[in-house]
């Protein structure tokens, strides 16, 4: 069974400030944070870590936290549903802004086809592809490193 990380350890692995992360969760900007109850640590499994890592990366890329949270959670959910997928694409259309939907990349038509096909019943406006296979490898590596230093406070 893959290890689960506390919020403190997960934030170190994902390189996001824990206090800022907790503020984003409290404000509803990261809707897929693992559930917890008062007095208990939030526990992140590898799929949860995909969302956390992408959330930080998207904010680093200049996305507002709310938009970063929506995209990161959609991509992580698709990755969880399709664990064999090496890439997940976030597809946005012209009619449902500001959100899109995430799919395994091999299910999304090539850009050269966008003028000739509808996807999920609508026109594609934009596709952003995330290399989740590599991301899973990075998360596993840094989780293993983190497990060597987890202490009492974690």
CA dist., res. 51 & res. 92, Å (int): 18
Determine how many CB atoms are found less than 10 A away from the CB of residue 49.
24
For residue 143, tell me if it sits in a domain: yes
pLDDT, mean of residues 83-110: 90
For residue 46, tell me if it sits in a domain: yes
For residue 154, tell me if it sits in a domain: no
pLDDT digits (tens, 9 = 90+) for 52-75: 999 999 999 999 999 999 999 999
pLDDT, mean of residues 103-126: 91
pLDDT, position 5: 93
State the pTM of this model: 0.91
Domain that holds residue 67: 5-147
pLDDT digits (tens, 9 = 90+) for 14-32: 999 999 999 999 999 999 9
CB 127 within 8 Å of CB 80: no
For residue 107, tell me if it sits in a domain: yes
pLDDT, position 152: 45
* Angle of the 7-14 helix axis to the 46-60 helix axis, nearest 10: 50
pLDDT, position 151: 53
| Beta bridge mates, 92 | 126
For residue 56, tell me if it sits in a domain: yes
For residue 135, tell me if it sits in a domain: yes
Query: Where do we find the tokens 């989780």?
Result: 143
For residue 108, tell me if it sits in a domain: yes
For residue 153, tell me if it sits in a domain: no
Give the total number of structural domains in the chain.
1
């Amino acid at each position: 069974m893959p290890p689960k990380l506390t919020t403190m350890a997960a934030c170190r692995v994902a390189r996001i400030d824990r206090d800022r992360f907790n503020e984003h969760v409290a404000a509803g900007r990261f809707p897929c944070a693992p559930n917890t109850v008062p007095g208990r640590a939030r526990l992140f499994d590898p799929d949860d870590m995909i969302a956390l890592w992408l959330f930080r990366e998207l904010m680093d890329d200049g996305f507002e936290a709310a938009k970063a949270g929506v995209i990161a959670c959609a991509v992580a959910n698709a990755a969880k549903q399709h664990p064999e997928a090496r890439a997940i694409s976030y597809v946005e259309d012209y009619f449902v802004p500001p959100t899109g939907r995430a799919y395994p990349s091999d299910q999304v038509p090539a850009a050269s086809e966008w003028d000739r096909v509808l996807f999920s019943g609508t026109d594609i406006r934009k596709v952003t592809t995330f290399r989740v296979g590599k991301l899973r490898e990075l998360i596993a590596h840094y989780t293993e490193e983190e497990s060597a230093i987890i202490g009492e406070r974690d």
